[in-house]
Homo-oligomer: A and B are copies of this chain.
Amino acid sequence: MVERIPVAVMGATGLVGQRFIQLLHRHPWFELVSITASERRIGQKYGETVRWMWSEEPPEEVQEMKLSPTNYEGVRDAEIVFSALPSSVARELEPELAKRGKIIVSNASPFRMDDDVPLINPEINPDHLKLIPIQREKRNWKGFIAKNPNCTTAILTLSLKPLLDNFGISNVRVATMQAVSGAGYEGVVSMDIIDNIIPFIKEEEEKVHRETKKILGTLTSNRVEPLNIGVSASCHRVPVLEGHLEAVFVELKEKPEDVNGVVKALSNFKGKPQELKLPTAPEKPIVVRSEPDRPQPRFDRMTGGGMSVVVGRIRWSEIDQNEIKYMVLGSNTIRGAAGTAVLIAELLRAENMI
């Protein structure tokens, strides 16, 4: 076996940080050498301070690891640094680390829309990683920053890609039912969500609009030309622990012969991660279910280890000849966050970009 690459997780005690731990602790290519947290936890053992939220216990060897500070010192020994930091911290720290040579693969929202920052959903736009040399040169950085998309967008775009490729897309409308874990451990208080829905998630709709177009866009010489489609999202928080469910209406450019044609396009979809057999790549990025009442968050969110999205209820929209509608579901903390970040890092490695 080859030498594993030393990696760090910043923000390791949060919900997404915990997912990074699960995905990295026995990773065949990466070795977790450092985990960071905020001030008050530094020096504590991970297992003693983390409020673990997922079903199995945290891996024993990680429980014993001590938390490092969230700064350069804290990740000094890592080559790749996965970031699950809050936006305000990420905005300051990520560029500093990239400048000093770290490869940042980040779930935080800042810089996602920067022209020279690749925003990657690995099955869709692996070629956008070509922005990296441009970024490094322009910013005079030894390292670089790559971003995974917002959770809702990661799940949505995976379902859109084969439609775009096969039929063309003119407009997308999506109404989401998002899990409370998407807001972080303390993000949604119980008094707000028991027997209730909150039909608003700050800045979420804007993220879906612009990130979808960038991810599905075309790489030009030094930036990504966003895809010229209409995207309109309505985002809502529901009393579900994990798994974002989205009701999608898509106006296609070309009418599929029948719904089965759409099913096939989605079912057969594969991307570079499957081709390269990357460790975290699900066998099928999109699993289509034929039952009338699926996907459902509790039953389908862990499909493909949380890396597949599950599509169901594909049907004509009745608005016009070319419009279909369907449901898509994905794990917001894995495919929508940590899992996609790890997959990006694997892609970078497989493509010899690190």
Give the B-binding residues of A (Cβ under 8 A): 15, 52-53, 55, 171, 173, 175, 177, 180-181, 185-200, 209, 230-232, 234, 236, 238-241, 245, 247, 249, 292-299, 302, 312-313, 317-320, 323, 325, 327
Q: In the complex, which residues of chain B have a beta carbon less than 8 angstroms from the beta carbon of A294?
A: 199
Q: Smallest CB–CB gap between A138 and chain B, Å? A: 30
Q: Establish whether residues A200 and B238, one from each chain, have CB atoms under 8 Å apart when the complex forms.
A: no
Q: Establish whether residues B195 and A190, one from each chain, have CB atoms under 8 Å apart when the complex forms.
A: no
Number of copies: 4
- Bound complex: CA of A313 vs CA of B188, how far in Å? 20
Q: In the complex, which residues of chain B have a beta carbon less than 8 angstroms from the beta carbon of A197?
A: 177, 238, 240, 245, 296-297
Q: Establish whether residues B190 and A193, one from each chain, have CB atoms under 8 Å apart when the complex forms.
A: yes
Q: In the complex, which residues of chain B have a beta carbon less than 8 angstroms from the beta carbon of A236?
A: 177, 245, 247
Q: Establish whether residues A230 and B318, one from each chain, have CB atoms under 8 Å apart when the complex forms.
A: yes
Q: Establish whether residues A240 and B295, one from each chain, have CB atoms under 8 Å apart when the complex forms.
A: no
Q: Smallest CB–CB gap between A113 and chain B, Å? A: 16
Q: Which chain B residue shows the least CB distance to A229?
A: B319
By Cβ-Cβ distance, the 5 closest A-B pairs, closest first, are A175-B175, A200-B293, A230-B319, A234-B247, A175-B247
Residue from A190, A200, A241, A317 having most chain B Cβ neighbours under 10 A: A190
